Amino acid sequence: MKDQLDALRLEIERDVKAAKSLEDLEVIEVKYLGRKGELTSMLKGLANVTAEERPVLGALANQIKQDGLDLIAARREDLASSKYSALAETERVDVTEPGARPPEGHLHIMTHTIREITSIFEKIGFYRTRYPEIDWDWYAFEALNMPPEHPARDDWETFFMDAPISKKGKMVMTPHTSNGQIHELQRHNFPIRMIDIGKCYRRQVDATHTPMFHQFEGLFVDKGVNITHLRGILDYFAEQFFGPGRVSRIRPHHFRFTEPSFEVDISCGICGGTGIGADKKKCKVCKRGWLEIGGAGMVHPNVLKACGVDPKKYTGFAFGWGVERVAMMKEGAKVDDIRILYQNDVRFLKQF
Ligand code: PHE
């Protein structure tokens, strides 16, 4: 029996050495040392040995069991650590490696342009205001010298709201930012140097119009303000926004809320206002040296009166036009269809 036990010890040692995984060790332990394992069944043979041999063989068997368990434990540790070092090799993560950058967006060209216009005017003492984009008829028309039923209203393609009518008339989605002039004048906080930028709405959709668009409205009212101040500010804007050398000009026009009224043009950046291109032919961009951008004029006395301002004491000018238009002009972008600004196509938007 001693020989059998010695042989078992050798088998255990050999198998443990050969084990390649934690699972192998499990099997070895059960096979040799488990409750129904080989050592247990061998111990049954103790019944047949002499009384002197029994304690000696019993002790040997225990020793073999203990040594076997120790061997298995040691091998288990080896295998476990080599398993992790193998894992560390195959699944290595270099935490110091720079990460992959997710795609980054940027502000919409309209937001950029609005911020730029705001800061250009802030430099010369204007402040930005926001006035309602849905307002009463009185602010959008009547106080702007357009009484009910006046034909001049037809120009604005107004959206009327399905809402109760008040003393100030129907509610409208503002067709221009000129209602801001009225709100600001009513504050009687002189000098007024307002730049009001907001959304406007008109019932028109085609390649050059979106039903929602942005305007900015300038208003400068104080004692002694005259047309030369308007000219100066328009030239300042032309140069700041469009670049050095660009100038403005005004042409007579008609608005109900200004008198006199003008249309404002900016000199063409391609032909420098001459209307003649580098090829000595008509400039392809402007055809006549100038690009029309919007309206302006001296605030009509009736508008001042409607806001409780004495036109004999205060005078001023207003101007206003589309943000989309100047943004596209500035970029020199020839867009076939202005609606692309609001179609959220990143291929278009990321260019600006
Ligand atoms: N409100 C006019 C428009 O929408 C522009 C304008 C503003 C004209 C201020 C004169 C003065 O076209």
| Mean pLDDT, the chain, whole residue set | 93
- Is the whole model's pTM more than 0.75, yes or no? no
CB-ligand 1 contact for 57 (6 Å cutoff): no
Asked whether the beta carbons of 220 and 233 are under 8 A apart, the reply is yes
Residues 6+ apart with CB under 8 A from 20: 79
Picking from 219, 210, 231, the residue whose alpha carbon sits closest to that of residue 110 is 210
CA 255 to ligand 1 centroid distance, Å:
7
CA 3 to ligand 1 centroid distance, Å:
113
Question: Percentage of the chain surpassing pLDDT 70?
Answer: 100
Residue 260 CA: distances (Å) to CA of 9, 154, 222, 257, 313: 115, 21, 17, 9, 18
Q: What is the pLDDT of residue 182?
A: 98
CB-ligand 1 contact for 320 (6 Å cutoff): yes
Q: Whose CA is nearest to atom 10 of ligand 1?
A: 296
Q: What is the pLDDT of residue 329?
A: 87
Read off the amino acid at residue 341. Answer: L
Domains of the chain: 2-90 (no CATH), 109-349 (3.30.930.10)
Asked whether the beta carbons of 312 and 194 are under 8 A apart, the reply is no
Q: Whose CA is nearest to atom 7 of ligand 1?
A: 320
CB-ligand 1 contact for 218 (6 Å cutoff): no
Pick from 176, 196, 326 the residue to mutate for probing ligand 1's pocket: most ligand atoms within 8 Å of its CB: 176
Asked whether the beta carbons of 148 and 102 are under 8 A apart, the reply is no
Side-chain-side CA neighbours of residue 317 (13 Å): 20
Question: Percentage of the chain surpassing pLDDT 90?
Answer: 66
**Whole-angstrom Cα distance, residue 222 to residue 215?**
23
Q: Whose CA is nearest to atom 8 of ligand 1?
A: 295
Tens-place pLDDT, residues 70-100: 999 999 998 888 888 888 888 888 889 888 8
CB-ligand 1 contact for 297 (6 Å cutoff): yes
Please report which confidence band the pLDDT of residue 203 belongs to, taking 50, 70 and 90 as the band edges.
very high
Tens-place pLDDT, residues 257-271: 999 999 999 998 888
**Whole-angstrom Cα distance, residue 351 to residue 290?**
26
Pick from 133, 172, 184, 257 the residue to mutate for probing ligand 1's pocket: most ligand atoms within 8 Å of its CB: 257
Please report which confidence band the pLDDT of residue 345 belongs to, taking 50, 70 and 90 as the band edges.
very high
